[in-house]
């Protein structure tokens, strides 16, 4: 127990950051599971974080209410944004969400109510480690259930082939917008919790590089199963500490290792690190599922 409390006094904030990043990665996982590449999830986290932070600091709204409000506002923005942009595909969707994210960031820099470039300060630090992980468990449970529901199968079919899915009678616009909105909700929740973890949030934390980092978590961990993004976020958030542990302190080398891991994963493990732990049999089954045989 003493060791545990020592561990937390040293690595407590790392454990918290892993949790927040895992939640954010899960938010992107939902969008990716419907085959949509969004670079706007960091901005949704920003919207959630600023909404919650403004509510608690300016209007004295209770913490839990502010979390819910942050997540709902992010989901609403996600819904409104999703309707027009989800007509775009692939790289074009990525760029549209990216430019949306930049507009949100620049708005946060320029608005008075968000505290400008210095950021929003004075949030009560109510977010506790146990609560973050409780939320992760809840979200994971929801996503694991969702995967084998009819909604999950619709997402999967859109991911595999959007044209074929719509030919099968799946309302692709509805399901894509749904995936986008759920993703925005989770991102907004994570952002709202993050705002009450740190006392301060700044616009830069929700910019382009944050959006790319989320994508990297999902790819490195694996974006086909819900525990992939959690694994990726945990590994890559802890990586600087791990490298410090084995004696690498130079910043550039850490960054290089980050890039190298990503490259190796995309070249040799296209389904992410989780495919290392899966039995070959299930891998074969998923290949068969792709071509439409096997699997009931």
Partner 1 sequence: MNLLLQQLINGLFIGSVYGLFAVGYTLVFGVLDILNLAHPAVFTLGGLTALWLVETAGLRLWQAFPIAVLVAGLLGLLLDRVAFAPLRQRADTYFSGLISSIAMAIMFESVALGLFGAHTVRFPANTVPLHIWRFAGVTVTSLQVEIVAVALLLMVGLTQFLKHSRTGKAIRAVAENDRMARLLGIHVDGIIAFTFFISSALGGAAGILFGLYFDSLSPDMGRSIELKGLAVIVLGGMGSIPGAIAGGLAFGLSEVLTVAITGTSNLRDAVAFAVLFAILLLRPSGILGRGRMREA
Residues near partner 1 (CB under 8 A)? 37, 84-85, 88-92, 94-96, 98-100, 102-103, 106-107, 109-110, 208-209, 212, 215-216, 219, 250-256, 258-260, 262-263, 266-267, 270
In contact, 192 and 132? CB cutoff 8 Å: no
To the nearest 10 degrees (0 to 180), the angle between helices 63-85 and 172-198 is 140
Q: Which is nearer to partner 1, 99 or 129 (CB)?
A: 99
| DSSP β-bridge partners for residue 70 | none
Of residues 153 and 208, the one with the C-beta less far from partner 1: 208
5 CA to centre of own chain:
29
Min. distance of Cβ 59 from partner 1 in angstroms? Answer: 26
Q: Is 206 exposed, middle or buried (0-12, 13-18, 19+ CB in 10 A)?
A: buried
Return the number of the residue (40 or 188) whose C-beta is nearest partner 1. 40
Closer by beta carbon to partner 1, 72 or else 109: 109
Q: What are phi and psi of 248, to 5 degrees?
A: -95, 115
CB of 101 to partner 1, least distance (A): 9
Q: How far is the CB of 250 from partner 1 (least distance, A)?
A: 7
Minimum CB separation of residue 222 from partner 1 in Å reads 13
In the chain the first and final C-alpha atoms are separated, in Å, by 47
Q: Which is nearer to partner 1, 131 or 208 (CB)?
A: 208
With respect to partner 1, which residue has the nearer C-beta, 199 or 208? 208
CA dihedral 136, 25, 100, 164 (to 10 degrees): -110
- Residue 255 Cβ vs partner 1, minimum distance, rounded to whole Å: 4
Residue 242 or 260: the one with the smaller Cβ distance to partner 1 is 260
Distance in Å, CB of 198 to partner 1, minimum: 23
Distance CA 206, CA 4 (A): 32
**Shortest distance, CB of residue 115 to partner 1, whole angstroms?**
14
Q: Between residues 60 and 292, which has the closer beta carbon with respect to partner 1? A: 292
The least distance separating partner 1 from the CB of residue 234, rounded to whole angstroms, comes to 19
């Amino acid at each position: 127990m003493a060791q545990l409390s020592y561990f937390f006094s040293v690595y407590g904030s790392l454990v918290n950051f892993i949790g927040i990043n895992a939640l954010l990665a899960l938010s992107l996982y939902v969008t990716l599971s419907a085959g949509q590449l969004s670079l706007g999830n960091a901005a949704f986290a920003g919207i959630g974080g600023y909404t919650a932070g403004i509510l608690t600091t300016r209007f004295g709204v209770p913490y839990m209410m502010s979390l819910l409000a942050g997540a709902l506002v992010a989901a609403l923005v996600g819904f409104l944004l999703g309707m027009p942009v989800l007509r775009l595909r692939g790289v074009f969707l990525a760029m549209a969400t990216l430019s949306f994210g930049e507009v949100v960031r620049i708005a946060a820099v320029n608005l008075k109510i968000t505290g400008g470039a210095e950021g929003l300060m004075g949030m009560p630090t109510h977010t506790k480690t146990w609560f973050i992980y409780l939320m992760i468990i809840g979200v994971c449970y929801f996503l694991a259930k969702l995967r084998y529901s009819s909604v999950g199968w619709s997402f999967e079919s859109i991911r595999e082939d959007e044209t074929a899915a719509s030919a099968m009678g799946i309302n692709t616009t509805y399901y894509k917008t749904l995936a986008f909105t759920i993703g925005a909700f989770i991102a907004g929740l994570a952002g709202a919790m993050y705002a009450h973890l740190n006392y301060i949030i700044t616009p830069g934390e929700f910019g382009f590089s944050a959006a790319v980092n989320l994508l990297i978590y999902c790819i490195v961990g694996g974006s086909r199963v819900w525990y992939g993004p959690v694994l990726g976020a945990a590994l890559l958030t802890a990586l600087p500490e791990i490298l410090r542990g084995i004696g690498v302190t130079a910043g550039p080398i850490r960054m290089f290792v980050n890039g190298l891991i990503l490259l190796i994963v995309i070249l040799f493990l296209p389904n992410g690190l989780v495919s290392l732990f899966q039995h070959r049999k299930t891998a074969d089954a998923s290949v068969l599922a792709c071509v439409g045989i096997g699997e009931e």
